Chain A
Amino acid sequence: EAAVTQSPRNKVAVTGGKVTLSCNQTNNHNNMYWYRQDTGHGLRLIHYSYGAGSTEKGDIPDGYKASRPSQENFSLILELATPSQTSVYFCASGPGTSSQNTLYFGAGTRLSVL
């Protein structure tokens, strides 16, 4: 079973502050993804990555940056957090190149921006 670990699990931030959400996967998957989940919207894709050094914009990238310094780690960065970014954030990884790109999700990070 793929292991994806997110930290922190919960975070309270102030408006205008910088927030970094971290994700680590131990399965040598090429692709990693950041989603946010809000009531009525399901999960929406923020950024994704094909491998170390790669970051790509998803469907809702505004206000977010991403960093993939290594195969295992993928961070989501909110340079100037706003209350509209209060949400639950999920990281996922998947093989990418294989024929079956099953995605495995972390447990989520609940972020509140006050």
Chain B
Amino acid sequence: GDKVKQSPSALSLQEGTNSALRCNFSIAATTVQWFLQNPRGSLINLFYLVPGTKENGRLKSTFNSKESYSTLHIRDAQLEDSGTYFCAAEAPQGGRALIFGTGTTVSVSP
């Protein structure tokens, strides 16, 4: 939604290339989570971030709370990286629920 804006909305990658996804927040996000929705529709948690950076294999994510954005970097893209990536921000109120962006659909081709 408008509180969490993701860009780009879609991305086509060739295997082996690198790319970055971005989320901008218009709310005071305290933490950020990144999810991958696979072609079966399952939501897989990739990262839980307080301000700072985390890395897991070919994925690296940063959350900058002062400038209200988060990024997800994909290095050496593989076919299995295809799917829709969602970022979600935890706002200070509301049961620690997450506010989701509208997603970036990534297609990786050989």
Say yes or no: B86 contacts A101, CB within 8 Å.
no
Q: Mark B68-110, 1 if CB is under 8 A from A, else 0.
A: 0000000000000000001010100011111111110000000
Residues of B with C-beta under 8 A to A96: 95-96
Interface presence of B1 (CB below 8 A): yes
Query: A43 touches which one: B48, B86, B94, B95 (CB < 8 A)?
Result: B86
Residues of A with C-beta under 8 A to B100: 35, 42-44
Q: Mark A40-61, 1 if CB is under 8 A from B, else 0.
A: 1111110011100000101100
Interface presence of B45 (CB below 8 A): yes
The size class of the interface chain A forms with chain B is: 20 to 34
Q: Report the count of interface residues on B (CB-CB < 8 A).
A: 24
Which residues of A are at the interface with B, using a C-beta cutoff of 8 A? Answer: 31, 33, 35, 40-45, 48-50, 56, 58-59, 88, 90, 94, 96, 100-105, 107-108
A-B contacts, 23 of them at CB < 8 A, read A31-B95, A31-B97, A41-B102, A42-B100, A42-B101, A42-B102, A42-B103, A43-B100, A44-B1, A45-B94, A45-B98, A48-B94, A48-B97, A58-B94, A88-B41, A94-B96, A101-B31, A102-B33, A102-B45, A103-B98, A104-B45, A107-B41, A108-B41
